[in-house]
Amino acid sequence: MDVGRAARVRVQRRLVVARHGAELLDRKRRILVEEVERLDLVAERTGEQWRAAAVEARRWAGRAAGLDGPLAIQAAAPPGAAQARVQLGGAMGVVFPVDSSTLSPAPRDIGGSSALALAARAHVEALDAGVAHAAARRAAAAVRAELAATRTRQRAVERRWVPRLESDLATIERALADLELEEGLRLRWAAGASAGQGRVDR
């Protein structure tokens, strides 16, 4: 290891950077903890809404099946698949879903009871709620993963990088102190030797 004054300055600068990095990671970790808590609440709320909408859709599907029969339900099914759209956003360098929507094709008009129309509407609402819940869960999972990575990086900086630099700096400081002591002794010895030489010359 280089133990000169330039090495001390280099290690001191790296130690300042490492400590600042640890502070930034700690700040990021605290922000992510709050974001995970918020997103968990959103996922819990959307989950409740999805389960309630699914129960409602099942109830209306049962009524429609009783009044119109399963063949009428099949005949009224939309001609195409629904599409889910997810809008991405982010915080602290993490990209995650921030909004979602669905585009559901209209069911075929085959007449039938009002229960059939209400069942179709209830299933669209359940689909909307399910997509919103899936997006909320994905958002919480993405931020939670970044939180875990941030904790790992913070521990690495605080428990390995900073202590190693502190140890390197202490080693350099001791070596420089030894060199200064040795240089001081050499100068005193040289001064004493030249003083003695002067006395001999007289």
Here the CATH number for the domain that contains residue 65 is 1.10.287.3240
Structural domain range at position 53: 5-192
Task: Please indicate, yes or no, if residue 200 is contained in any of the structural domains.
Answer: no
DSSP H helical ranges for 69-113: 70-76
Instruction: Quote the pLDDT of residue 180.
Output: 86
Instruction: Quote the pLDDT of residue 197.
Output: 62
Whether pTM exceeds 0.85: no
C-alpha torsion 13→17→22→23, nearest 10? 100
Task: Please indicate, yes or no, if residue 142 is contained in any of the structural domains.
Answer: yes
Task: Please indicate, yes or no, if residue 74 is contained in any of the structural domains.
Answer: yes
Element (H, E) at 84: strand 83-91
Per-residue pLDDT 10s for the chain (202 aa) are: 666 889 999 999 999 999 999 999 999 999 999 999 999 999 999 999 999 999 999 999 999 999 999 999 989 888 899 999 999 998 888 999 999 999 999 888 888 899 999 999 999 999 999 999 999 999 999 999 999 999 999 999 999 999 999 999 999 999 999 888 888 887 788 777 666 665 545 4
Instruction: Quote the pLDDT of residue 2.
Output: 67
Task: Please indicate, yes or no, if residue 198 is contained in any of the structural domains.
Answer: no
Task: Please indicate, yes or no, if residue 202 is contained in any of the structural domains.
Answer: no
Angle at 176 between CA 172 and CA 182, to 5 degrees: 145
Instruction: Quote the pLDDT of residue 198.
Output: 56
Instruction: Quote the pLDDT of residue 96.
Output: 94
DSSP bridge partners of 23: none
The count of domains in the chain is 1
Task: Please indicate, yes or no, if residue 199 is contained in any of the structural domains.
Answer: no
Task: Please indicate, yes or no, if residue 27 is contained in any of the structural domains.
Answer: yes
